[in-house]
Structure formats: C-alpha cells, structure tokens
C-alpha cells in the first residue's frame, strides 16, 4: 500500500514530544513491512525512512484544498495524527487521536485510539497500542538503587507521589521533566533530558514511577522503561493496566499501595521487561496493527473493533 501520513508537527521532535515520536516510529515500521509512505508535515521535517512534503501550519489546521492537493494521487490510505473536521478526498482517511477529548465533543469518523481504555472512554472500540523502536533504548540488566520519574511535572502525572515515596523511604529519586519545584535532599532534579540522557536514566533506574492521577491515553514513558529492562510502578488509571503486568511492574490505587509494591519492585527480571516491550509495543507491532485497520477500511468502508489487548 501507499500510505500518506500527515503530522501537524515538525518531525522528528527535538524535545520529548510523545505523539511525534510515535509517528516517526510508525513510518519506519510501515516502510520495514514493505509499504510505501509519504509524509506530510510541518516545515523543517526530515526523515531518513520516507520522503517528506512540507506544508505551512495554517494549511495543516484544516482539510481544505491546499492540504488535499498535497496528498499523492496514488495513495491508498491517508493517516492523520490530529483531528480533521472534514475530508474532501475519496481516499479513505484514518485519524489517530492522541489526547483525551473534552466531554461532549464529537469524535471524528474513522478515529483510532491508543488503548482499549482510551477507546472505551470515548465510545469507541478501535485502538492500536503505541510502539517504539527497541534499538533506540539501552538495555541494562544491573540496576542502581535510585528510582526515576520521567515526564511533565504536573499534578495529573502524580509526580508528587514519587516525591513523597522518596521522603518516606529515604530512597533516592531522580526527576526528569519540565518545571522545577523545590525538593528535599532525597530528590535530584535534572530538568528536561535529550534522547541520550533519557536512555541512560531509564537503563540505570531501579524502577520508573508513573503514578498517573488522570486517565492516560497510553503512557509512552512506561514502554520506554520496559525496553530498557526497567520495571514500572503505576496507578490503575487509563491504559496503564494494559501495559504493566505483574511480571514487569506493579499497579496500585493509593500511594500506600505503591510504597508497599516498591519494596519488591527490584525482583522483576529485566529480560522479561524487555521481552514484553518487544513483543507488544514495538514499532513493527504498531505498524502491523494499523495495516490491519487500513486493509479493513479499504475492504468494507469502516474500521473494525480491535481484539483484546495482549496480556503477556
């Protein structure tokens, strides 16, 4: 198939940019599966795996004739990564929704969500789990004594649970993310990190804290940790129960639950963590999931419900 992938961002991203990283990984996966891909993205975009057509941001914000004119005429599927209210072409359109919608806001046709929970909360049944390229992460069997929190330092991400756990246990915690509050001696703040720094932190950490206090559509940092052989401590919110199984981490509903689980989190096998990520959350498994949807949409004119999430 010839797939036109539309991103409203510059690719690749220089900061964290979860959705952008997923798009880049998807394009690579589709190409490795033997498909032809054309990327339409914001100015300055350049990918080694597929040709890029640059388009002004104002033209990416709608589905007008200027955007439609850039889609190759021989494309079989158009896959956009931000909602388009209308679509003027006859070429089938798939839309991946990377966020949580405001209550009552209509969901565009042919929308694909990031997890079973994400889909269910928006009245949908079609989802594909995010995937990343395993070789971009450093696998390490031997872990150090400190824990890691990686992400925006926002209350919804639950970073203060990780801080409180460090205070109660005396175990060192490294925080990597935007915005710097004040911390006690147990906490080391390293700010925003680049890809190399992030890979090193993930590989060395005893565990990754993801105590989300909102419904995560997916939770990309969790699979980044698993690729690094690092177990994950998280809440039972959003997609996290689809990612974190007992052999690669622990889930809880309260800080006390996670504090108790943290005492034994180091017993998880790094090999098992890496294997789960490679099996369920690789760029190839994500691309294969989307290809199944593309084929179904072309054959029937509608997206099918997704199968149950893998449990192992």
73-104, pLDDT tens digit by residue?
A: 999 999 999 888 788 899 999 999 999 998 88
Task: Look at residue 164 in the predicted model and tell me its pLDDT.
Answer: 93
Q: What is the pLDDT of residues 195-254, one digit of tens each?
A: 999 999 999 999 999 999 999 999 999 999 999 999 999 999 999 999 999 999 999 999
Ordered by start, the domain boundaries in the chain are 2-132+282-300, 135-280
Give φ, ψ of 39 to 5 degrees.
Answer: -105, 135
Check for a shared fold between 2-132+282-300 and 135-280.
yes
Is-contact 271 141, C-beta < 8 A?
Answer: yes
Task: Return the pLDDT at 309.
Answer: 57
- Per-residue pLDDT of 254-297, as tens digits, reads 999 999 999 999 999 999 999 999 999 999 999 999 999 999 99
Query: Which pTM was predicted?
Result: 0.91
The DSSP bridge pattern shows strands 187-189 and 232-235 to be unpaired
The per-residue pLDDT for range 116-161, each reduced to its tens digit, is: 999 999 999 999 999 999 999 999 999 999 999 998 888 889 999 9
DSSP H or E segment with residue 96: strand 93-96
Residue 311 predicted with pLDDT over 60: no
Class of domain 2-132+282-300: alpha beta
Residue 20 has pLDDT above 60, yes or no: yes
In this prediction, residue 308 carries a pLDDT of 67
Sign (positive/negative) of CA torsion 106, 16, 217, 254?
A: negative
CATH of domain 135-280: 3.40.50.2000
Name the burial class of residue 78, with classes exposed (0-12), middle (13-18) and buried (19+) by CB atoms within 10 angstroms of its CB.
Answer: buried
Alpha helices in the chain (DSSP H): 18-32, 57-60, 65-68, 116-121, 159-169, 195-204, 220-227, 240-243, 255-262, 270-280, 283-300
DSSP 101: P
> Exposure pattern of 264-285 as b/e (b: 16+ CB <10 Å)?
ebeebebebbbbbbbebbbbbb
Q: Which tokens in the block code for residue 168? A: 């109660």
Burial class (CB in 10 A: 0-12, 13-18, 19+), 17: middle
With a cut of 80, say whether residue 306 has pLDDT above it. yes
Nearest-angstrom CA–CA distance, 261 and 36 = 46
């Amino acid at each position: 198939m010839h797939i036109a992938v539309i991103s409203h961002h510059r690719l690749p991203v220089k900061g964290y940019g979860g959705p952008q990283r997923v798009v880049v990984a998807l394009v690579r996966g589709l190409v490795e599966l033997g498909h032809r891909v054309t990327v339409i993205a914001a100015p300055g975009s350049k990918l080694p795996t597929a040709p890029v057509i640059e388009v002004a941001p104002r033209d990416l914000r709608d589905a007008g004739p200027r955007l439609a004119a850039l889609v190759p005429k021989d494309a079989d599927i158009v896959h956009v990564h931000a909602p388009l209210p209308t679509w003027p072409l006859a070429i089938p359109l798939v839309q991946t929704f990377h966020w949580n919608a405001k209550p009552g806001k209509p969901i565009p046709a042919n929308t694909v969500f990031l997890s079973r929970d994400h889909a269910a909360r928006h009245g949908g049944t079609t989802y594909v789990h995010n995937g990343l390229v395993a070789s971009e992460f450093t696998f390490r069997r031997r872990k150090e004594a400190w824990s890691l929190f990686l992400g925006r330092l926002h209350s919804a991400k639950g970073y203060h649970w990780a801080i409180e756990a460090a205070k109660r246990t005396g175990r060192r915690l490294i925080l990597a993310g935007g915005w710097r509050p004040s911390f006690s001696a147990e906490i080391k703040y390293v700010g925003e990190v680049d890809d190399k720094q992030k890979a090193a932190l993930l590989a060395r950490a005893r565990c990754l804290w993801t105590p989300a206090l909102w419904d995560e559509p997916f939770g990309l940092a969790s699979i980044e940790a698993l690729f690094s052989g690092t177990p994950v401590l998280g809440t039972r919110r959003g997609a996290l129960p689809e990612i974190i199984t007992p052999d690669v981490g622990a889930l809880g509903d309260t800080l006390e639950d996670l504090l108790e689980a943290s005492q034994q989190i180091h017993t998880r096998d790094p090999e098992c963590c890496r294997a789960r990520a490679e099996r369920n959350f690789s760029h190839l498994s994500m691309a294969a999931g989307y290809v199944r949807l593309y084929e179904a949409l072309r054959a029937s004119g509608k997206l099918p419900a997704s199968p149950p999430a893998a449990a192992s």
